[in-house]
């Protein structure tokens, strides 16, 4: 019955009609169920309970329905029951269908994973010597799981210590959703404002106090809405000032800060499921702030050179997605903490059988969340978890992480053996920190034993001491408040298993005589106004109290404040009580640590995080949450054996420092320091450039809520075949009329000053791009069936350039960039066909974002008009690029095992369009091309990280580095040359290559030319059941 909630609803509907024995409870009916004609009168409720609820098999349900239909006389026939059975039969069939589909999906996934692991290990073993070939997966697992190896691995890391004080690190944390502020946090206001908010704020504060950390920025969303407090609209909030040192190195920018970036609707608070289309906008805003802050910190502590972020740490899927893009744009390490995971939630929802995968995705945007988590795994140097269970049972569900393959790759790296571009993220268990500053540890003694009596009744006839309010609230439930207290503190959620604890207490007489039970189950006013799950738990609690006659022994207060929680722990400790967490599965168990800090031994579930906590603290017992007798026995043992109770109490206090914030941050920084550090290497300023830009305002005003930051321009107009030239010209004029409008604020008035400094005789080695105030990016994907650019595309390019040049004032501050999937040689041929000189463009982004070129100008030792590659860009995008391993795997996946040795197949390599960071293939059989999401999944399962895409009218497939793309190339121009993305105008068609959606979103101005591009490659982007376009591109 407990698991058949889908039947309970219908059963309650029957009971509410009062038919037959309608006043009886379900349990009573089930206990007294008899055959329909035993008593001479048909009871439809009893019949329903016996034949339907207790027989949920499909055949039994159908047989029950046949029996009811056969009962045709007016006195016995219940049409309502007939209808209910019919509906439940169909529900059962639907549930079985969903379960069958899910089992098939899991089976296919297991097969895919095994195939991927087999392919990876086969490829890796080819390069091993005979001595190394013994290190197969099974052997490596045994080696890596040994405790000796684990201890050796940890001991090899240099622990973060006070001698790091000379470092001046800048750390970036991201937590996008919910309401984030430093004081008076509204925890529990909604499902998005919970434990994660408290965690990231306390982490930011704690990191800022660590030696070597100069500044910590916690990025979140800026919201100016009448629905919420005004403080969430403030762009900056200080959490803690920088630690004062003995020298003068502590500047005004040191410390921890909340930085609120505007993205999405400015005046509306959105749930996390609705934030996905605005992620790119957040990334651009955060990037602007980081660049500005890096420059400020460079002036304070960096000797004039920018202080790049030491690490970018994303919390939850949305922030992980953002951190991956920021990490790629800045070329700095990324760290991820999942908090809760989408695949795990999807599995649980599907097991319930109430919703299809499509319904779940519609409600929770679950596929968008899962893809964000997969991308985060691709990009992260380090993934931080709270428990080992999270690694094996939750992250193990993802395409991008395989425990066995990760251990093989780690062993190869340690021996210096080539992994051929395969990578698995490193997982580290670092339990959340806690603030123990308010905890007073009192050693045991006679005065402690008598303190509770003194508090409640006074000594020597004196009046009792004043009690904390929450103590009085709890004590009023008890006949004898001096008995040891069993304390449980959790939401009234069925997963927390509170009812099993109450049954164990009620059915164990020695336990009832020995102790009282206190259940702190959140706050409530009226049970009827609570959610169905919570209300059901509370109702069952009240029934069980009555059933076992536990009045005077069980407390369940209606209200408590967050500040009361320490007092509740202290009260339980005064009575020499025990804290219990009987949850069916507990992801971590923060309350267990809080209880240990206040001197309470624990009894906890053996499923999940409490196992790790018990290993560290050794302050209690673990139990099977499904075994009521085991729960009762463990409680009796701890409460009755005083020596054991005192030993557990002392162990908890002895080891609790392992869960303090300083310890957490020390381990955190130690782990991060072991990552492969990387950051931009170029010099950003030269004296001749300073003069040109000193008059210009700061390249970033990310904290100012500019209305034009998220401007989207859609230029309407149809290009009829007969009058295409005229309509095209009209569209170009309308585009330029929008672009020529001066920006609001200082940007609109400082142009002439800048122009005086930019002359054609400049000897700067930097391209003119740096001095541009605006950049028009032409990113039209207009190709014929063979992937060749259509003539119409060069005509549009000509007209846009000509239109801009008609206005000399705008022309001097406006640059052009061409963003295309064509390689550089084809791009030059394309421009030459329309008599467009390459030096008309300030930048060429070629091969889907894998190359960036600039035209040679004065001062460069290359013939003017020629193209110069950006040497820093190749280093910038090289992260996790495994070219050779990708080639072999792609060929096998696309052409199949049987065609893997043939020279031709569904695809063939296009050497002319390939380069060091782009593997290009021609598509010979489009019908056999795999969708991008399917291809990416198969590559992830094999440990390969890249950015696959189809382009040029579905005639080509490109494989480029993971964090390279045409959209990311624009961010690179921002980072490299300080041309703000917000001042870029990206011209697109109505469709394009499979990276088209990435080009739409962000703070740049998007201009869509309608009627220009009729055929793109987007049909190859996603298969059924994947994330939807609406979850990526804002409407």
Which tokens in the block code for residue 599? 């001197």
Which among 971, 1007, 1021, 1013 has a CA at the least distance from the CA of 992? 1013
Higher-confidence position of 830 and 862: 830
Return the minimum-mean-pLDDT range out of 43-47, 612-616, 662-666: 43-47
Q: pLDDT digits over 416-425, tens only?
A: 888 888 999 9
Residues 608/588, Cβ–Cβ less than 8 Å = yes
Return the minimum-mean-pLDDT range out of 432-441, 490-499, 741-750, 1017-1026: 741-750
* Range picked from 119-123, 210-214, 809-813 for highest mean pLDDT: 210-214
- Measured CA to CA, the distance from residue 339 to residue 360 in angstroms comes to 20
Q: pLDDT digits over 932-948, tens only?
A: 999 999 999 999 999 99
In 38-87, which ranges are E strands? none
Which among 609, 646, 660 has a CA at the least distance from the CA of 439? 660
**Residue 533 confidence (pLDDT) above 80:** no
pLDDT at 847: 97
pLDDT at 809: 86
**Residue 449 confidence (pLDDT) above 80:** no
DSSP state of 453: H
pLDDT at 885: 84
**Residue 609 confidence (pLDDT) above 90:** no
**Residue 759 confidence (pLDDT) above 90:** no
Which among 381, 379, 378, 376 has a CA at the least distance from the CA of 341? 376
Sort 321 into a burial class: Cβ within 10 Å, 0-12 / 13-18 / 19+: buried
Beta bridge partner(s), residue 715:
1009
Confidence of residue 117 (pLDDT cuts 50, 70, 90): confident
- Measured CA to CA, the distance from residue 800 to residue 778 in angstroms comes to 9
- Measured CA to CA, the distance from residue 596 to residue 653 in angstroms comes to 7
DSSP state of 118: H
Distance in Å from the first CA to the final CA of the chain: 45
**How large is the average pLDDT for residues 836-851?**
94
Q: pLDDT digits over 18-51, tens only?
A: 444 333 443 444 344 334 334 445 555 555 545 4
Q: At what angle do helices 791-805 and 824-833 cross, to 10 degrees?
A: 70
- Measured CA to CA, the distance from residue 880 to residue 379 in angstroms comes to 8
pLDDT at 58: 53
Give every CB contact of residue 115 below 8 A, 6+ residues apart in sequence: 941
Residues 167/246, Cβ–Cβ less than 8 Å = no
- Measured CA to CA, the distance from residue 977 to residue 925 in angstroms comes to 42
pLDDT at 904: 66
pLDDT at 589: 85
Q: pLDDT digits over 901-914, tens only?
A: 555 678 999 999 99
DSSP state of 24: S
pLDDT at 657: 86
Which ranges in 459-531 belong to alpha helices (H)? 469-475, 498-507, 509-514
Return the minimum-mean-pLDDT range out of 186-190, 458-462, 618-622, 990-994: 458-462
CA dihedral 123→124→126→127, nearest 10 degrees, is 140
Higher-confidence position of 810 and 254: 254
The β-bridge relationship of strands 956-960 and 919-923 is: antiparallel
**Residue 14 confidence (pLDDT) above 70:** no
**How large is the average pLDDT for residues 693-702?**
43
Higher-confidence position of 530 and 963: 963
Sort 67 into a burial class: Cβ within 10 Å, 0-12 / 13-18 / 19+: middle
pLDDT at 148: 41
pLDDT at 345: 85
pLDDT at 627: 93
Confidence of residue 390 (pLDDT cuts 50, 70, 90): confident
The β-bridge relationship of strands 485-489 and 516-520 is: parallel
pLDDT at 749: 37
Confidence of residue 440 (pLDDT cuts 50, 70, 90): low
pLDDT at 900: 53
Q: What angle do CA 446, 451, 456 make, to 5 degrees?
A: 150
What is this structure's pTM?
Answer: 0.80
Residue environment code for 977-992, b if the CB has 16+ CB neighbours within 10 A, otherwise e: bbbbbbbbbbbbbebb
pLDDT at 443: 58
**Residue 108 confidence (pLDDT) above 70:** yes
Which among 918, 730, 741 has a CA at the least distance from the CA of 821? 918
pLDDT at 522: 83
DSSP-based three-state secondary structure for 685: coil
Residues 438/621, Cβ–Cβ less than 8 Å = no
Return the minimum-mean-pLDDT range out of 385-399, 563-577, 669-683: 669-683
- Measured CA to CA, the distance from residue 607 to residue 603 in angstroms comes to 12
Return the minimum-mean-pLDDT range out of 218-222, 286-290, 802-806: 802-806
- Measured CA to CA, the distance from residue 836 to residue 818 in angstroms comes to 12
Residue-by-residue DSSP string for 549-610: T-TTTEE--S---GGGHHHHHHHHHHTT-EEEE--SSBSS-HHHHHHHHTT--EEEESSBTH
- Measured CA to CA, the distance from residue 844 to residue 867 in angstroms comes to 9
Beta bridge partner(s), residue 788:
none
DSSP state of 660: B
Q: pLDDT digits over 41-93, tens only?
A: 555 555 554 544 444 555 555 555 566 556 555 555 556 566 666 666 666 67
Residue-by-residue DSSP string for 800-867: HHHHHHTSHHHHHHEEEEEE-SS-HHHHHHHHHHTT--GGG-SEEEEGGGTEEEEE--TTSSS-TT-E
Average pLDDT, the chain: 80
Higher-confidence position of 772 and 849: 849
Q: At what angle do helices 628-640 and 642-655 cross, to 10 degrees?
A: 90
Q: What angle do CA 811, 814, 817 make, to 5 degrees?
A: 120
Return the minimum-mean-pLDDT range out of 17-21, 680-684, 850-854: 17-21
- Measured CA to CA, the distance from residue 775 to residue 842 in angstroms comes to 9
Confidence of residue 568 (pLDDT cuts 50, 70, 90): very high
Which tokens in the block code for residue 10? 């219908």
**Residue 752 confidence (pLDDT) above 80:** no
The residue whose two tokens read 């509306």 is 268
pLDDT at 862: 52
pLDDT at 681: 73
Higher-confidence position of 671 and 764: 671
Q: pLDDT digits over 129-172, tens only?
A: 434 444 444 433 343 444 444 344 445 678 888 788 888 999 99
pLDDT at 710: 34
């Amino acid at each position: 019955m407990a698991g058949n909630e889908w039947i309970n609803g219908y059963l309650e509907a029957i009971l509410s009609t009062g038919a037959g024995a309608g006043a009886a409870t379900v349990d009573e009916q089930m206990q007294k169920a008899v055959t329909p004609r035993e008593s001479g009168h048909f009871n439809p409720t009893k019949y329903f309970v016996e034949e339907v609820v207790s027989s949920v098999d499909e055949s039994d349900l159908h047989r029950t329905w046949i029996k009811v239909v056969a009962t045709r006389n007016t006195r016995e026939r219940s049409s309502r029951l007939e209808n209910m059975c019919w509906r439940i039969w169909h529900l059962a069939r639907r549930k079985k269908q969903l379960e069958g589909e899910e089992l098939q999906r899991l089976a296919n996934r297991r097969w895919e994973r095994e195939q991927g692991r087999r392919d990876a290990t086969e490829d890796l073993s080819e390069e091993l010597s005979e001595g190394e070939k013994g290190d197969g997966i099974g052997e490596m697992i045994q080696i890596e799981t040994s405790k000796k190896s684990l201890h050796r691995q940890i001991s090899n890391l240099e622990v973060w210590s006070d001698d790091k004080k000379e470092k001046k690190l800048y750390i970036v944390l991201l937590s996008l959703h919910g309401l984030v502020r430093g004081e008076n946090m509204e925890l529990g206001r909604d499902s998005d404002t919970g434990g994660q908010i408290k965690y990231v704020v306390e982490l930011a504060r704690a990191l800022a106090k660590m030696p070597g950390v100069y500044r910590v920025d916690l990025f979140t969303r800026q919201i100016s809405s009448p629905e919420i407090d005004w403080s969430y609209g403030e762009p900056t909030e200080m959490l803690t000032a920088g630690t004062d040192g003995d020298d003068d190195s502590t500047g005004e920018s040191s410390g921890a800060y909340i930085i609120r970036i505007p993205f999405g609707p400015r005046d509306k608070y959105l749930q996390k499921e609705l934030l996905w289309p605005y992620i790119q906008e957040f990334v651009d805003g955060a990037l602007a702030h980081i660049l500005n802050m890096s420059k400020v910190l460079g002036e304070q502590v960096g000797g004039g050179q920018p202080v790049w972020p030491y690490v970018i740490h994303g919390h939850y899927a949305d922030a992980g997605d953002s951190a991956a893009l920021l990490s790629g744009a800045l070329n700095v390490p990324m760290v991820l903490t999942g908090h809760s995971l989408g695949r795990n939630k999807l599995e649980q929802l599907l097991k319930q059988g109430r919703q299809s995968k499509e319904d779940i995705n519609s409600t929770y945007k679950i596929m968008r969340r899962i893809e964000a988590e997969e991308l985060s795994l691709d990009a992260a140097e380090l993934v931080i978890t709270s428990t080992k269970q999270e690694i094996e049972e939750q992250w193990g569900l993802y395409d991008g992480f395989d425990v066995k393959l990760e251990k093989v790759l780690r062993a190869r790296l340690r021996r210096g053996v080539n992994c051929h571009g395969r990578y698995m993220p490193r997982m580290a268990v670092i339990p959340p920190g806690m603030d123990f500053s308010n905890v007073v540890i009192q050693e045991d003694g006679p005065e402690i034993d008598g303190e509770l009596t003194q508090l409640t009744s006074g000594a020597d006839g004196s009046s009792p001491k004043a009690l904390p309010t929450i103590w009085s609230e709890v004590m009023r439930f008890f006949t004898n408040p001096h008995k040891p207290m069993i304390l449980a503190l959790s939401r009234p959620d069925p997963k927390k298993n509170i009812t099993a604890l109450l049954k164990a207490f009620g059915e164990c007489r020695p336990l009832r005589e020995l102790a009282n039970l206190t259940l702190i189950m959140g706050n409530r006013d009226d049970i009827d106004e609570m959610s169905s799950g919570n209300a059901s738990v509370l109702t069952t609690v009240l029934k069980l109290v009555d059933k076992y006659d536990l009045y005077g022994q069980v407390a369940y207060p209606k209200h408590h404040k967050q500040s009361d929680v320490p007092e509740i722990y202290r009260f339980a400790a005064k009575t020499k009580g025990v804290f219990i967490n009987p949850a069916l599965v507990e992801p971590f168990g923060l309350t267990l640590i809080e209880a240990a800090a206040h001197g309470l031994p624990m009894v906890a579930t053996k499923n999940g995080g409490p196992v790790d906590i018990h290993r560290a603290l050794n302050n209690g017992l673990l139990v099977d949450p499904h075994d009521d007798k085991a729960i009762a026995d463990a409680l009796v043992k701890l409460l009755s054996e005083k020596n054991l109770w005192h030993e557990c109490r002392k162990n908890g206090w002895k080891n609790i420092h392992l869960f303090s914030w300083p310890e957490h941050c020390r381990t955190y920084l130690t782990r991060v320091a072991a990552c492969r550090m990387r950051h931009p290497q170029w010099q950003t300023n030269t004296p001749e450039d300073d003069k040109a830009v000193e008059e210009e305002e700061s390249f970033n005003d990310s904290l100012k809520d500019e209305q034009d930051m998220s401007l989207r321009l859609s230029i309407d107009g149809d290009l009829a075949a007969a009058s295409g030239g005229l309509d095209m010209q009209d569209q170009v004029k309308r585009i330029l009329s929008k672009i020529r409008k001066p920006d609001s604020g200082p940007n609109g008035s400082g142009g002439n000053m800048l122009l005086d400094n930019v002359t054609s005789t400049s000897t700067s080695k930097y391209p003119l791009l740096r001095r541009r105030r605006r950049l028009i990016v032409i990113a039209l994907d207009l190709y014929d069936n063979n992937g060749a650019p259509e003539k119409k595309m060069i005509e549009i390019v000509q007209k846009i350039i000509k239109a801009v040049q008609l206005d000399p004032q705008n022309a001097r501050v406006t640059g052009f960039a061409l963003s295309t999937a064509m390689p550089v040689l084809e791009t030059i041929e394309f421009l030459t066909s329309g008599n467009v000189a390459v030096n008309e463009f300030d930048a060429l982004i070629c091969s889907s974002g894998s190359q960036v070129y600039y035209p040679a100008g004065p001062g460069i030792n290359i013939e003017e008009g020629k193209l110069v590659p950006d040497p820093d860009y190749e280093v910038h995008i090289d992260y996790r690029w495994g070219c050779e391993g990708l080639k072999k795997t792609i060929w096998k996946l696309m052409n199949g095992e049987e065609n893997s040795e043939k020279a031709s197949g569904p695809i063939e390599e296009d050497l002319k369009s390939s380069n060091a960071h782009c593997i290009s293939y021609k598509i010979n059989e489009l019908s056999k091309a795999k969708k991008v999401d399917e291809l990416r999944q198969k590559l992830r399962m094999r440990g390969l990280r890249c950015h696959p895409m189809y382009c040029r009218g579905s005639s080509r497939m490109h494989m480029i580095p993971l964090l390279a793309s045409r959209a990311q190339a624009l961010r690179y121009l921002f980072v490299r040359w300080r041309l703000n993305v917000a001042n870029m105008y990206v011209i697109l068609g109505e469709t394009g290559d499979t990276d088209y959606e990435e080009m739409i979103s962000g703070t740049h101005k998007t201009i869509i030319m309608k009627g220009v591009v009729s055929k793109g490659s987007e049909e190859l982007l996603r298969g059924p059941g994947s994330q939807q376009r609406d979850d990526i591109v804002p409407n």
